[in-house]
C-alpha cells in the first residue's frame, strides 16, 4: 500500500489540492475583491493607486488557479473531466471574464484618455465580480451535488446551476473577497484614499457577516449532508467556534485600525471555510445527486499511486521554492503603494 | 464553411466544432508564448550588457522591450488558461485517458515554471526602482527561464501524444486509460528532446525578429537611430544562430517522425508507394483521389534524408488503412513546405544581414530595412504551420496509435455549447488581437523614451537628461 505517515497518496493529494485552492482563494481573493470594489473609488488617482496596489502580485496570485486546475487534472483526472465538462457554460463565462480582467489591468494605463480608462475600470470591476461569482457558483454546486451518472457525465442542464444554495454560496464568496480585498487595499494606502477605504472595509464586513449568517442557517436547514461529519464528531465543532472568534477579531482589528491583523484574520476565515468544505466532502470530490454510488471519491477517481508518488515528490521540492520567491516578491513591494514611472 | 456548423443533431458536429475550437484557441495562444520566450532571451542579453558596460543605452533597450514584453505576456497567460480549461470542458475522455501520465508533467510545469515566471514578473515590470540592477537582472533571467521551463513540460506532454513511452494501458473501452510506469521514460520519450529544441529555437526566432523588425522600422523612419542599430545587432545575432541551429534541429525532428510516425512523414512529402524511393518536394500539391503528388521535387530526396540513399524505399501512405491516415493530406503537406520555406528565408536574411553588418553597409540599405521590418511574420508563420504539420499529421489519433481524436470528446457536452463557446472565443480574441496590434503600434510609435502616462508622479530627471544625450 502506498502511504506516507499513515495516509494514502490519494488523500495526500486531496490535501495538496485543498491547500492550493486555499492559497488561491487567499491570494487571488484579495485582488479579485479589490477589483469588485474598484468602482466605489471615484477619483482617477485613487483608482490608479488601487490598481497598482495589486499590480506586481495579481498575476502570481492567479497562477495558483492554474496550479490548482493542473493538480486536479493530474491527481483526479475523472473529477477534472466530469467537473469541467459539466460546468461548461459557467466556465466559458469565467474564462472570458478572466481574459477581460487581465487585459483591463494591463491596458488601462496604456492610454491617458478618460473614456479609455473609465471603460477599463468598469471592465476590471465587472470581470472581477463575474470571476468571483462563477467560482462561488461552482463551489456551491460541488457542495450540493450534481446529477452525474456512473461514467461521471453530467446529466443536467445549464440552468440547474442556478439553485438557491449555490447562488447564496456565490454571493457569500463575493462578499468575503470584497471584505478581504478592501482590507488589503486599506493596508496598502494612505491619506484620503485610506480614509475612504476604511468606510468600504466596514460596509463590506457587514455585508459578509450578513451573507455568512444566512448561508449557515440555510445550509443547516436544507443541506444536511454538509454538517453531517461535524454532527458525528463533536470535537470538530471547534472549527465554527474558531470562525466566530476570528470574525470577532476582524471587527476588533478594524475598529483599532490594525489592518494587518484584520487581513490575517480574513485569510484565516477563508482557510477555515475551506477546511469545513474539505471535512464535509472527504472522501468525496464530487457528489452525484442521482445515486451515491456514482460519487467520485478520493479512491475511485485518483491517478495511479505511482503517478501520485511522482507528483508528491515534485510538490515537496517545488512548494518550498515557490514559497521562497513569493515571499521575496511580496517583500520587494511591501509598504504603502507609491506610483512611479513603471506603474500601471 | 459555416452552414455545416449549425446542425446540432449529429455527434460528428461536436467533434468538428471541438477541433475547430481547439485549433483556433491554440493557434491564437501560440502567437504569444514564443514571443515571450524569444523576447526574454533578447532582454537578458540587453540587460546583461547594461550590467557589464554600464551604458545607459542598454538600460533603455531593456526597459523598452520589457514594456513590449508586458503586453505580450499578459495575453499569453490569459489565453493559456483557456487551454488548460478546454482539455476538461471539450475533451473529457482524453483528459481521463492521459491524466495519469500528464499529471506529473503538468504538476512540474505549474510549480517549477508558471510560478517562477509569474512570481518574478512583478519585479521585472515594477521593480526597476525597488531592487538593485543585479537583482533586477536576476528577475529577468528567472522570468525567461520560467517561460522556457513551461515550454519544456507542455512539449513533453505533446511529445508523449506523438510518441508515447513509459506507460501501460489499464481498462478497456470508455474506462481505458494510460498509467505511468516510468517518469523519466515518459519525459524523455523518443521525440521530446528533438521537438523541445525545435520549439525553443522557433521561439528565439520570433523574439529576435520582433526586435529586428521594430529596429528596422525606426531606422527607416530615422528615429532613435543609435538605439535601433544596437538592438538590431543583438536581434540579428540571436536570429542568425537560431536559424542555422533550426536547420539541424528540424532535420533531427523529421528523423524522429520518420522512425515513429511514418504516416505523418509520408503525408508531409505526399509519398504513397512504400516500395518506391521518396522524393522531396520544393513545392506541389497532393491529388488525394488518385493518390499522387505533383510538383517540383528532388528525386529520392526524402530517401536520402532518412536513409542516406537516394534509392531506398520509404514507407508510404498506402501501407496504412485509409482510416489510419491523416485525412487533411494537403494541409500537412503545404504547412510543412511553408515552414521549410520560411526557415530558408530566415537563414538567407540573417546571413545577408550579418555579412553587410560586417562591411558596415547594412543600415544604409533601405530596401533591406523594409524587408527586415516585415520579416517579423516569417517566424510567426513558421511556428504556426510547423504545429499544423505536427498536429494534423498526427491525426486521426490524439494519442498516436492509442486514442482516436473522435473518441476523446466530452460525452456530456452538446454541439450548441461548443458552438456558443467557439463564437464567444472568436469574438473575444478578435477584440483582443485588435487591441494588441493597436497598443503594440502605440508603444512602437512612442519609442524607447520615457513612459508619460503618469501625470501625477514626477519624472526622474536624470533619465530625461540621459535620453537627451542619447537621442539629442
Position A65 scores a pLDDT of: 86
Whether residue B467 has pLDDT greater than 50: no
Position B455 scores a pLDDT of: 35
* Helix and strand totals (H; E) in chain B: 16, 6
**Closest listed residue to residue B230, CA positions, set B61, B54, B446, B50:** B61
Position A206 scores a pLDDT of: 93
Q: For residue B442, which residues of chain A lie inside 8 Å, CB to CB?
A: 110-111
Q: B107 vs A311: CB contact, 8 Å cut-off?
A: yes
C-alpha cell at B103: 499529471
Which site among B11, B107, B429, B445 would you substitute to test the A interface, given the most A Cβ atoms closer than 10 Å to its Cβ?
B107
Domain ranges of chain A: 7-332
Q: A63 vs B99: CB contact, 8 Å cut-off?
A: no
Burial B152-175 (b: 16+ CB within 10 A, else e): bbbbbbbbbbbbbbbbeeeeeeee
Q: Which of B84, B183, B424 sits opposite A92 (nearest CB)?
A: B424
Q: For residue B173, which residues of chain A lie inside 8 Å, CB to CB?
A: none
- Average confidence (pLDDT) over B50-78: 89
Q: Is B7 exposed, middle or buried (0-12, 13-18, 19+ CB in 10 A)?
A: exposed
Residue of A nearest to B96 (CA): A77
Residue of B nearest to A340 (CA): B457
Whether residue B307 has pLDDT greater than 50: yes
Q: A307 vs B82: CB contact, 8 Å cut-off?
A: no
| Mean pLDDT, chain A, integer | 88
Q: Which of A56, A77, A110 sits opposite B122 (nearest CB)?
A: A56
C-alpha cell at B338: 511553408
Q: Which of B111, B114, B456 sits opposite A319 (nearest CB)?
A: B111
Q: Which helix (H) or strand (E) holds B216?
A: helix B192-220
The answer to whether B248 touches B404, Cβ cutoff 8 Å, is no
C-alpha cell at A148: 452525474
The DSSP code for A56 is: T
Which site among A61, A74, A325 would you substitute to test the B interface, given the most B Cβ atoms closer than 10 Å to its Cβ?
A74
Q: Tens digits of per-residue pLDDT, B206-218?
A: 999 999 999 999 9
| Mean pLDDT, chain B, integer | 85
At residue B463 the predicted structure's pLDDT band, cuts being 50, 70 and 90, is very low
| Cα gap B25→B46, rounded to integer Å | 32
Report the gap between the CA of A109 and the closest CA in chain B (Å). Answer: 7
Residue B71 exposure: Cα atoms within 13 Å on the Cβ side = 24
Whether residue B410 has pLDDT greater than 60: yes
**Closest listed residue to residue A58, CA positions, set A110, A111, A122, A131:** A131
Domain ranges of chain B: 198-411
| Cα gap B190→A141, rounded to integer Å | 43
Q: For residue A67, which residues of chain B lie inside 8 Å, CB to CB?
A: 110-111, 114-115
Q: For residue B177, which residues of chain A lie inside 8 Å, CB to CB?
A: 77
Whether residue B60 has pLDDT greater than 50: yes
Q: Which of A59, A70, A88 sits opposite B109 (nearest CB)?
A: A70
Q: Which of A59, A100, A311 sits opposite B77 (nearest CB)?
A: A59
Q: Which of A74, A89, A329 sits opposite B104 (nearest CB)?
A: A74
| Cα gap A161→A158, rounded to integer Å | 6
At residue B1 the predicted structure's pLDDT band, cuts being 50, 70 and 90, is very low
Position A285 scores a pLDDT of: 86
Report the gap between the CA of B280 and the closest CA in chain A (Å). Answer: 42
**How many C-beta atoms surround the C-beta of residue A299 within 10 A?**
10
Q: Which of A85, A318, A343 sits opposite B92 (nearest CB)?
A: A85
Position B456 scores a pLDDT of: 33
Q: B129 vs A343: CB contact, 8 Å cut-off?
A: no
Q: Tens digits of per-residue pLDDT, A48-97?
A: 888 888 888 888 788 888 888 888 888 888 888 888 888 888 888 899 99
Percent of chain A with pLDDT over 70: 100
Report the gap between the CA of A82 and the closest CA in chain B (Å). Answer: 7
Q: A60 vs B118: CB contact, 8 Å cut-off?
A: yes
**Closest listed residue to residue A56, CA positions, set B76, B81, B121:** B121
Position A161 scores a pLDDT of: 85
Report the gap between the CA of A90 and the closest CA in chain B (Å). Answer: 11
Q: B181 vs A67: CB contact, 8 Å cut-off?
A: no
Q: Tens digits of per-residue pLDDT, A248-299?
A: 999 999 988 888 899 999 999 999 999 999 988 888 888 888 888 888 888 8
Q: Tens digits of per-residue pLDDT, B121-147?
A: 888 988 888 888 899 999 999 999 999
Which site among B22, B36, B106 would you substitute to test the A interface, given the most A Cβ atoms closer than 10 Å to its Cβ?
B106
Q: What are phi and psi of A235, to 5 degrees?
A: -60, -25
Q: For residue A66, which residues of chain B lie inside 8 Å, CB to CB?
A: 80-81, 84, 110, 114
- Alpha-carbon distance values, B186 to B200, B240, B447 (Å): 20, 33, 46
* Alpha-carbon B130 to chain mean position: 33
Q: For residue A63, which residues of chain B lie inside 8 Å, CB to CB?
A: 110, 114-115, 118-119
| Cα gap A254→B223, rounded to integer Å | 55
Q: A102 vs B77: CB contact, 8 Å cut-off?
A: yes
Residues 6+ apart with CB under 8 A from A285: A14, A76, A79, A296, A297, A298, A301
Q: For residue B102, which residues of chain A lie inside 8 Å, CB to CB?
A: 73-74
Q: For residue A286, which residues of chain B lie inside 8 Å, CB to CB?
A: none
Percent of chain B with pLDDT over 90: 37
**How many C-beta atoms surround the C-beta of residue B176 within 10 A?**
15
* Alpha-carbon A90 to chain mean position: 16
Q: For residue A306, which residues of chain B lie inside 8 Å, CB to CB?
A: 179-181
- Average confidence (pLDDT) over A210-219: 93
Q: A74 vs B99: CB contact, 8 Å cut-off?
A: yes
Please report the number of interchain residue pairs, chain A to chain B, with beta-carbon separation below 8 angstroms. Answer: 258
The radius of gyration of chain B from alpha carbons, rounded to an integer in Å, stands at 24
The answer to whether A81 touches A303, Cβ cutoff 8 Å, is no
What ranges make up the beta strands (E) of B57-197?
167-170, 177-180
Position B12 scores a pLDDT of: 52
Q: Is the peptide bond before B396 cis (omega within 30 degrees of 0)?
A: yes
Whether residue B177 has pLDDT greater than 90: no
Which site among A307, A317, A321, A343 would you substitute to test the B interface, given the most B Cβ atoms closer than 10 Å to its Cβ?
A307
3-state secondary structure of B342: helix
Q: Which of A306, A322, A343 sits opposite B115 (nearest CB)?
A: A322
Residue of A nearest to B464 (CA): A341
Three-state secondary structure string covering B367-431: HHHHHHHHCCHHHHHHHHHHHHHHHHHHCCEEECCCEEHHHCCCCCCCHHHHHHHHHHHHHHHHH
Position B231 scores a pLDDT of: 93
Burial B84-114 (b: 16+ CB within 10 A, else e): bbbbbbbbbbbbbbbbbbbbbbbbbbbbbbb
| Cα gap A3→B141, rounded to integer Å | 39
- Average confidence (pLDDT) over B176-199: 90
C-alpha cell at A164: 438557491
Please name every residue paired with A146 in a beta bridge, in sequence order, or none if there are none. Answer: A288
- Average confidence (pLDDT) over A188-203: 89
Q: Which of A66, A107, A154 sits opposite B110 (nearest CB)?
A: A66
Position A193 scores a pLDDT of: 87
Q: Which of B80, B87, B453 sits opposite A112 (nearest CB)?
A: B453
Residue A176 exposure: Cα atoms within 13 Å on the Cβ side = 30
**Among A174-178, A319-323, B79-83, B320-324, which range has the highest average pLDDT?**
A174-178
Position A34 scores a pLDDT of: 93
Residue B70 or B201, more confident: B201
Burial A74-100 (b: 16+ CB within 10 A, else e): bbbbbbbbbbbbbbbbbbbbbbbbbbb
Amino acid at each position: 500500500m502506498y502511504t506516507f505517515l499513515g495516509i494514502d497518496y490519494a488523500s495526500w493529494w486531496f490535501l495538496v489540492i485543498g491547500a492550493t485552492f486555499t492559497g488561491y482563494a487567499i491570494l487571488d481573493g484579495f485582488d479579485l475583491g479589490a477589483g469588485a470594489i474598484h468602482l466605489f473609488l471615484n477619483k482617477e488617482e485613487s483608482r490608479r493607486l488601487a490598481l497598482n496596489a495589486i499590480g506586481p502580485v495579481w498575476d502570481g496570485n492567479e497562477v495558483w488557479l492554474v496550479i490548482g486546475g493542473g493538480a486536479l487534472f493530474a491527481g483526479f483526472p475523472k473529477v477534472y473531466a466530469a467537473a469541467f465538462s459539466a460546468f461548461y457554460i459557467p466556465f466559458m463565462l469565467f474564462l472570458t471574464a478572466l481574459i477581460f480582467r487581465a487585459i483591463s489591468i494591463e491596458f488601462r494605463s496604456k492610454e491617458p484618455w478618460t473614456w479609455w480608462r473609465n471603460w477599463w475600470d468598469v471592465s476590471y470591476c465587472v470581470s472581477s465580480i463575474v470571476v468571483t461569482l462563477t467560482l462561488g457558483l461552482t463551489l456551491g454546486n460541488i457542495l450540493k451535488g450534481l446529477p452525474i451518472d456512473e461514467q461521471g457525465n453530467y446529466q443536467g442542464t445549464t440552468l440547474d446551476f442556478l439553485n438557491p444554495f449555490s447562488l447564496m454560496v456565490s454571493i457569500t464568496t463575493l462578499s468575503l473577497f470584497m471584505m478581504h480585498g478592501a482590507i488589503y487595499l486599506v493596508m496598502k494606502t494612505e491619506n484620503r484614499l485610506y480614509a475612504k477605504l476604511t468606510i468600504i472595509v466596514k460596509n463590506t464586513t457587514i455585508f459578509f457577516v450578513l451573507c455568512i449568517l444566512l448561508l449557515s442557517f440555510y445550509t443547516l436547514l436544507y443541506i444536511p449532508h454538509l454538517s453531517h461529519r461535524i454532527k458525528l464528531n463533536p470535537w470538530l465543532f471547534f472549527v465554527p467556534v474558531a470562525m466566530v472568534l476570528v470574525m470577532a477579531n476582524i471587527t476588533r482589528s478594524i475598529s483599532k485600525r490594525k489592518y494587518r491583523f484584520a487581513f490575517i484574520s480574513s485569510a484565516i476565515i477563508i482557510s477555515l471555510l475551506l477546511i469545513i468544505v474539505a471535512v464535509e466532502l472527504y472522501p468525496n470530490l464530487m457528489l452525484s445527486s442521482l445515486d451515491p454510488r456514482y460519487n467520485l471519491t478520493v479512491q475511485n477517481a485518483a491517478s495511479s499511486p505511482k503517478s501520485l508518488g511522482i507528483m508528491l515528490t515534485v510538490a515537496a521540492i517545488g512548494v518550498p521554492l515557490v514559497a521562497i520567491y513569493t515571499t521575496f516578491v511580496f517583500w520587494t513591494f511591501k509598504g504603502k503603494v507609491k506610483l512611479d514611472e513603471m506603474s500601471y | 464553411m459555416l452552414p455545416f456548423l449549425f446542425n446540432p443533431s449529429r455527434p460528428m458536429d461536436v467533434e468538428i466544432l471541438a477541433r475547430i475550437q481547439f485549433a483556433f484557441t491554440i493557434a491564437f495562444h501560440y502567437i504569444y508564448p514564443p514571443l515571450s520566450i524569444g523576447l526574454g532571451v533578447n532582454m537578458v542579453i540587453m540587460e546583461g550588457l547594461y550590467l557589464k558596460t554600464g551604458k545607459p543605452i542598454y538600460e533603455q533597450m531593456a526597459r523598452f522591450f520589457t514594456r513590449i514584453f508586458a503586453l505580450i505576456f499578459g495575453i499569453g497567460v490569459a489565453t493559456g488558461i483557456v487551454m488548460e480549461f478546454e482539455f476538461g470542458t471539450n475533451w473529457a475522455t482524453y483528459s481521463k485517458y492521459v491524466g495519469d501520465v500528464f499529471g506529473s508533467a503538468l504538476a512540474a510545469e505549474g510549480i517549477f515554471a508558471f510560478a517562477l515566471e509569474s512570481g518574478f514578473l512583478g519585479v521585472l515590470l515594477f521593480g526597476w526602482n525597488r531592487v538593485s540592477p543585479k537583482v533586477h537582472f536576476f528577475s529577468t533571467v528567472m522570468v525567461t527561464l520560467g517561460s522556457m521551463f513551461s515550454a519544456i513540460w507542455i512539449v513533453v506532454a505533446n511529445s508523449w501524444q506523438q510518441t508515447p513511452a513509459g506507460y501501460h494501458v489499464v481498462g478497456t473501452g470508455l474506462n481505458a486509460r494510460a498509467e505511468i510506469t516510468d517518469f523519466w521514460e515518459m519525459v524523455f520519450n523518443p521525440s521530446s528532446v528533438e521537438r523541445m529544441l525545435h520549439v525553443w529555437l522557433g521561439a528565439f526566432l520570433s523574439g529576435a525578429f520582433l526586435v529586428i523588425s521594430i529596429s528596422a522600422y525606426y531606422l527607416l523612419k530615422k528615429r532613435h537611430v543609435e538605439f535601433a542599430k544596437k538592438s538590431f545587432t543583438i536581434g540579428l545575432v540571436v536570429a542568425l544562430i537560431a536559424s542555422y541551429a533550426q536547420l539541424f534541429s528540424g532535420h533531427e525532428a523529421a528523423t524522429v517522425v520518420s522512425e515513429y510516425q511514418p504516416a505523418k512523414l509520408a503525408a508531409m512529402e505526399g509519398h504513397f508507394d512504400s516500395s518506391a524511393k521518396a522524393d522531396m518536394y520544393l513545392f506541389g500539391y497532393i491529388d488525394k483521389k488518385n493518390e499522387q503528388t505533383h510538383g517540383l521535387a528532388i528525386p529520392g530526396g526524402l530517401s536520402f534524408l532518412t536513409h542516406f540513399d537516394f534509392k531506398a524505399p520509404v514507407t508510404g501512405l498506402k501501407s496504412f488503412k485509409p482510416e489510419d491516415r491523416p485525412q487533411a493530406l494537403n494541409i500537412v503537406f503545404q504547412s510543412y513546405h511553408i515552414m521549410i520555406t520560411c526557415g530558408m528565408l530566415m537563414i538567407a536574411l540573417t546571413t545577408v544581414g550579418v555579412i553587410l553588418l560586417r562591411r558596415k553597409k547594412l543600415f544604409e540599405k533601405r530596401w533591406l530595412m523594409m524587408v527586415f521590418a516585415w520579416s517579423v511574420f516569417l517566424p510567426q508563420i513558421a511556428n504556426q504551420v510547423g504545429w499544423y504539420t505536427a498536429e494534423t499529421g498526427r491525426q486521426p489519433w490524439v494519442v498516436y496509435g492509442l486514442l482516436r481524436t473522435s473518441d476523446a470528446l466530452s460525452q456530456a457536452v452538446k454541439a450548441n455549447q461548443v458552438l456558443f463557446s467557439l463564437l464567444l472565443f472568436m469574438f473575444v480574441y478578435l477584440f483582443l488581437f485588435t487591441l494588441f496590434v493597436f497598443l503594440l503600434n502605440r508603444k512602437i510609435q512612442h519609442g524607447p523614451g520615457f513612459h508619460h502616462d503618469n501625470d501625477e508622479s514626477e519624472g526622474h530627471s536624470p533619465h530625461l537628461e540621459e535620453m537627451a544625450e542619447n537621442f539629442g
